[in-house]
Structure 1
Amino acid sequence: MSEKPLSQVILDIQNSQKEKSSVFNYPRKLYPPIEPYKTHRLKVGSIHDIYIEECGNPNGNPVIVCHGGPGGGCEEYYRQFFDPQAYHIILFDQRGSGKSTPAACLEENTTFDLVDDMEKIRTLLGINSWVIFGGSWGSTLALAYAETHPSRTKALILRGIFTLRRAELLFFYQYGTSMLFPDYFDEFVKPIPLVERGDLISAYHRRLTGTDEKVKQECANAWTKYEMATSKLVLDKEKIERGEDPEFALKFARIENHYFVNGGFFKEDGQLINNAHILKNIPGVIVQGRYDVVCPAQSAYDLHKAWPLSDLVICPDSGHSMSENSISSMLIEACDRFRNI
């Protein structure tokens, strides 16, 4: 990769014809699909059993992927952001998500339970320290882990920064995106009576944890479809269809809402940015879509200011999704940058 910081790289992309960019071959393609060479089931706490997989080079630089949601689970293409010859790639489904069991379970499921799970995975695999990759909620978990275990964190590769501040939650779930997506916001509020719409997260929580299974599924579908519809700069019908999958929607909505109604289980609002000084010796890259409405750029900017060793890349033609060309390309570039750290 060029010795230029990534922030300069993205400016070069903007100021040149993309197909002739001299910085790197833009847009970057994902590495070829790979399969895990080993999978694990790990009992954590008294209830949960989490799924873990290892891919790439067993002797490579360890990197762990923190998926989004919470509740989203890992997808196979996440493996493809990393050079499989250079990286020992570790994916895991967080409690209640993906292939982990019991599905959509909220008991013993907090941010710092997941941080502890990551430590158990590190110990299980005999890893001393690793690179941490995470986007959206995955950036929240990555930051929570790094601020708890800085000596175990080599570098951070983050996307679509979400720090679970109250203002971030209110923007997406209460008033902000309704100005940009009034049609989808209308569908989002439809299951909630007018009298309860002053606090939509709490109103959804009552239904997603209630006993009426029909209402629970209806609300799970509405919650998940709303996020899928707003995740990309250009509406992606396939993403919306995924949000309509009842099994996925229930995991996604229940676990997300559980974390959000509890403020991420942090002791104070803004804890992750307030504690960013702990990252002072950890390098990292923050990749942020300029038009991300799920996790607006303000949080990425605030984190960058509080974390001097970070490199902030604002992609000028992207929303929230890691599959958008600019975001995907810059994430691959960042992964290549740290493959030998």
Structure 2
Amino acid sequence: MALFAPLDCRHHFFLPVGQGHTLYVEESGNPDGIPVVVLHGGPGGGCSPFLRRFFDPQRFRIILYDQRGAGKSLPLASTDHNSTDRLCQDLETLREHLGLSRWMLFGGSWGSTLALAYGKAFPGRVTAMVLRGVFLCRPRDLDWLYGEQGAARLFPEAWQALLAHCPPGPGTVLERYHRALIGEQARDYARPWCNWESTLALMNLAAPGAAEDGELCMARQEAHYFIHGGFLDRPLLDGCEALTMPVEIIHGSRDYVCPPEQAWALHRVLPNSRLQWVDNGGHSSADPAIAEALVAAVARIATGLRS
């Protein structure tokens, strides 16, 4: 199934959520349609107009927003009062502001992490989920990303490039980048950080230079969340067996950011989940095969939901 045509934003606004944070929110599609909120990746990735194209605009009320410190939300790249439980509460604030009793969640990568955390905290508010590139944020998953025995063994040249730009000082790669990404030279370190992830996602790399705002948000917030284990008070899979809403899981067989075992582990504990492997699919939602699978998964979910 093909992506839907590019869709303009119908309405946008800024929503204060406390602790000095204000979220950027936009709506598209049918205001009386099935409400779906899109949870972007990262943390810190921000939303893109591309993410509207997975939904039939005649059937869905499409809600995109930038999480704390990401995209157009304010303050830019802020990690103050920025944790998973606060992101979950922000979703509740947004839902209540929009006057919705329940909504569907659509999340990829870190967005899948947040969707599961929110679903466990507020299960009665979730009608269904579509999850892509599942990220469980376990210690082993972080070791895969930033340890010498993980993805570094598949992409040795890119790993050496990350190490070549690694900030000086004691500690692991993650610890050293975390310190630098909250310092005055943060933009110098954000681009190498993001290029490492782009390598694993099979995406084009940015040329050497100072990071732009989007890269700064992504790098700073990823390091902030990952150094704290995603701010999860218990393993993400714990309690997922109680989530009975329909869940579609889409995962690429060549996802080097989030190895496929994570999707399999989640599928095994979710009682009403469907897992679709995408042969040769990567991590990005822009991967044509992944995008096609996501459109089909959203359509399947929609058949069981009322607008």
Structure 2 matches for 1:52-63, cutoff 5 A?
52-63=25-36
Structure 2 matches for 1:210-221, cutoff 5 A?
210=183, 213-214=184-185, 216-221=186-191
- Structure 1 position 277 matched with structure 2 position 241: yes
Report the TM-score, using the length of structure 1 for normalisation: 0.85
The alpha-carbon deviation at position 173 of structure 1 amounts to: 1.1
The aligned residue for residue 173 of structure 2 is: 200
Report the TM-score, using the length of structure 2 for normalisation: 0.95
Structure 2 matches for 1:290-329, cutoff 5 A?
290-329=253-292
**Cα RMSD, aligned residues only:** 1.7
Q: Distance in 1 between matches of 2:98 and 2:208?
A: 32
- Structure 1 position 134 matched with structure 2 position 125: no
> Structure 2 vs 1, CA of residues 60 and 193 (structure 1 numbering), >3 Å: closer, same or farther?
closer
The alpha-carbon deviation at position 193 of structure 1 amounts to: 6.2
The aligned residue for residue 156 of structure 2 is: 182
- Sequence identity of aligned pairs in percent? 40
Q: Distance in 2 between matches of 1:209 and 1:240?
A: 21
The aligned residue for residue 42 of structure 1 is: 15
Aligned residues: 303
The aligned residue for residue 86 of structure 2 is: 113
Q: Which runs of 5+ in 2 are unaligned?
A: none
The alpha-carbon deviation at position 162 of structure 1 amounts to: 0.3
> Structure 2 vs 1, CA of residues 193 and 42 (structure 1 numbering), >3 Å: closer, same or farther?
closer
Q: Distance in 1 between matches of 2:28 and 2:49?
A: 11
Residue pair 1:115, 1:145 contacting (<8 A) in 2 also: yes
Moved more, 62-71 or 200-209: 200-209
Q: What secondary structure does 2:236 align onto?
A: helix
Q: Distance in 2 between matches of 1:173 and 1:82?
A: 34
Structure 2 matches for 1:10-89, cutoff 5 A?
28-89=1-62
> Structure 2 vs 1, CA of residues 80 and 193 (structure 1 numbering), >3 Å: closer, same or farther?
closer
Structure 2 matches for 1:221-232, cutoff 5 A?
221-232=191-202
Q: Distance in 2 between matches of 1:275 and 1:299?
A: 16
- Look at both structures and tell me which one has the larger radius of gyration over its CA atoms: 1
| Letter paired with 2:225 | Y
Q: Distance in 2 between matches of 1:179 and 1:46?
A: 41
Q: Which runs of 5+ in 1 are unaligned?
A: 1-27
Q: Distance in 2 between matches of 1:242 and 1:34?
A: 33
> Structure 2 vs 1, CA of residues 109 and 195 (structure 1 numbering), >3 Å: closer, same or farther?
closer
